[in-house]
Chain A
Amino acid sequence: MASMLLNTMRAGSVSPSWAVRLTACYCLTFLSVQTKSKKTLSRPGVKNIVLVEGVRTPFLLSGTTYADLMPHDLARAALQGLLQRTGLSKDAVDYIIYGTVIQEVKTSNVAREASLGAGFSDKIPSHTVTMACISSNVAMTSAVGLIAAGQCDSVVAGGVEFMSDVPIRHSRKMRKTMLSLNKAKTLGQRLSLIGSIRMAHLSPELPAVAEFSTAESMGHSADRLAAAFGVSRVEQDEFALRSHTLAKSAQDAGLLKDVISFKVPGRDIVSKDNGIRPSSMEQMGRLKAAFIKPHGTVTAANSSFLTDGASAVLVMSEEKALAMGYKPKAYLRDFVYVSQDPKDQLLLGPTYGTPKVLERAGLAMSDIDVFEFHEAFAGQIMANLKAMDSDWFGQTYLGRKSKVGAPPMEKFNLWGGSLSLGHPFGATGCRLVTTVAHRLQKEGGQYGLVAACAAGGQGHAMVIEAYPQ
């Protein structure tokens, strides 16, 4: 209710005066916003880059309604949704960048296939990037880079992941035999090659679920991380339950406005995420450990699930957006990428990225109104929160005098997160940024922070500033 009122107030407010807006916000929403005069992060000589719009397909459990598609189909749907939502003409962007993790070999530059399929002009170049779970963050920051460097004015960035079908290969031995078979000239050579095929050649090779450098699966690492920070099973289940509950109420309240409807070829129209399932602590408590058996604490219920989905955002220079008549949603400000030990600190990206990006932006933790962290595992989020709240960790591993301080839960992932909404690896970054923009608008905050961990021990954090309404 409060927020509805706020929106009304805002809509009616003619003057974009900060004082009026913030007072309104303070009175009506009871957010713990410290209403010291927050200045804009705009800097002289640095281009203002804005998020014009962000959309995503519904995120579905893999193997459900999207099962028969291909990755570029999903990306295409997101791009079409963006076109529709913004009314952008199909030749009005300068570049398209997509992030993805597991590449379909036929469409390895999925950005190009999707943009052609979505009807974008074939004169728009597009490329694909990958950085595990922060791939679409890289797509967005690459867009920011292109605009900041003056190479482009408007760029579409996005991400896609399609886990219903992944490339499963023949074994290396078999591949070698088959490739030699191509080159074999005589029947005799071919027959002897075929004759060399043994049972062992036939065992297929699945895409690695394990970290290549350490051979440890991410769930296993998350379990060890949770244990290292003393995160209990109950804490993890509680956090997962919170995520599902908040996602459910956000979905019910119609807050997830970034979700577009998608008519799946041969199937129905999909317009909702299907992984949101608030359960009870008892039900969750019955599950067995999924990775470290039997004494582990990470279960299927407190981990993010395999998801199909795609997202897209339109990023422009502020000038261009205004010139084209758009009302931007937010400014994309400072961002950082961090990386650390892929063995024991695989999922601590947010802990390293958060203080670093805040420092760059000249902000304190208390200045942030909206936090959107990628929830890979409940145990991972809790471990990151504990790491940020630990003086010992701050001093020993972050080289700080004291702790970073944990984000307050009342500002944290209030519309659910990857645990409940789903986590299509390559697409999550855009969802986080769009959600921050939407929450800033809804809650009336000024600064938002996105942080995420990624395989390889990497991480990302970005500060987003609300666009004056």
Chain B
Amino acid sequence: MKTIQFETPARQENAPMMHESVNHLDLSLGISSSNDACNYKNAPKTAKRMISFQTEPVDASPAYKKCVSVSSRMAFDYSYLFSHCPTGFVDPWSLAARQQKAAAEQAHLKANPNPTSSKIAMEPQQAPVVVGWPPIRSSRKSLINQNLTKSCTIDGKDSTLKSEKLAETKDAAIRLELRPTLYVKVNMEGFSVGRKIDLSAHNSYESLSRALQNMFCNFLSNKLISKDAHANANNSEFILLYEDYEGDKILVGDVPWELFLKSVKRLYITRHSSAQEKAGDGIKDSQKEETNHLNDCSN
């Protein structure tokens, strides 16, 4: 029974004891504690359908009715999901949570029937309340959200108003499950089956290295596991490499984190001693591939 300690809100793929450590997660980002992929697939569609209610539902569930009164003063503050629900912890993507969210948005829209107020800069969430508006395809909408979250991380020195707006936008984008992800393959030397890790869920090399350790500690023998990052770096046989867009294998840790994110394509965990020999093999392999390619094209 392992307890997994993490300080950053990273999604852990092999976290059997997720519920124990749920308090450490930043739940306002809407990260589900359930590993059930179906919730994610179904949630956005159903959430949208919920929002498209025209009339007050006559036969709403008791939970729904209760939440309407509670939520009207809690619009867009998602902490209410976890403090007011009678059953205690609520999976953010559960039906009850989605109903509450829809009720909140309906109540908010009723409270502010005129969306053309000058406060639109302060309350940017007015826009996403209307289903299917503006009339652009979802592929373009996701591009807009990706772009906004990127600009969020880059400029943090703007006026508080703009950064608030961007933060709200980022939350909205994350709630809409449109957070940009950067899944890369991780291959461990000697194992034919690899893993995948979301690099955008980390913000530093330390966080990445912890996540990788947790992921691969099943593969390593006991004496190499160490919770102390420094000790691990010093006495581990294993080194972490990454492959960039040009196909070169490079040691992780030289460039700043943001630049690393831009150029990384895959990760490799290899044994320290064989890294030099691997370099030689690599050259031979790529030469072979090139001659194959040339043969194809000259046909």
Q: Bound pair: A and B?
A: no
Residues of A within 8 A of B (CB): none
